[in-house]
Amino acid sequence: MRRRQARTLFNRSTRKLHRCGAILILIPLLVVIGSGILLQLKKEFPWIQPPTQRGLGPPLTRSLDEILAIATTVPRADISGWPDVDRLDIRPQQGVVKVRANNRWELQIDLRTGDVLSSAYRRSDLIESIHDGSFFHDNAKLWIFLPNGIILLGLWLTGSYLWALPIVMKRRGKAMRQYRRTHP
Number of Cβ within 10 Å of residue 129's Cβ equals: 15
Contact by Cβ (8 Å): 150, 10: no
Q: What is the mean pLDDT of the chain?
A: 89
What average pLDDT does the segment 59-83 reach? Answer: 91
Q: Give the range among 19-23, 46-50, 169-173 with minimum mean pLDDT.
A: 169-173
The pTM of the full predicted model, rounded to 2 decimals, is: 0.70
Convert the pLDDT of each residue in 149-178 to its tens digit. Answer: 999 999 999 889 889 888 888 888 887 788
Convert the pLDDT of each residue in 86-116 to its tens digit. Answer: 999 998 888 899 999 999 999 999 998 899 9
Quote the percentage of the chain above a pLDDT of 90.
46
Model pLDDT, residue 172: 82
| Residue (of 60, 53, 58) closest to 117 by Cα position | 53
Model pLDDT, residue 98: 94
Helix (H, G, I), strand (E, B) or coil at 175: helix
Q: Which residue has the higher pLDDT, 78 or 11?
A: 78
Model pLDDT, residue 1: 61
Residue 33 has pLDDT above 80, yes or no: yes
* CA–CA separation, 8 and 90 (whole Å): 61
Convert the pLDDT of each residue in 123-158 to its tens digit. Answer: 998 999 999 999 999 898 889 889 999 999 999 998
Distance of CA 9 to the CA centre of its chain: 37
Model pLDDT, residue 130: 93
For 151, residues 6+ apart whose C-beta sits below 8 A from its C-beta are: 21, 24, 25
| Residue (of 134, 102, 98, 100) closest to 116 by Cα position | 98
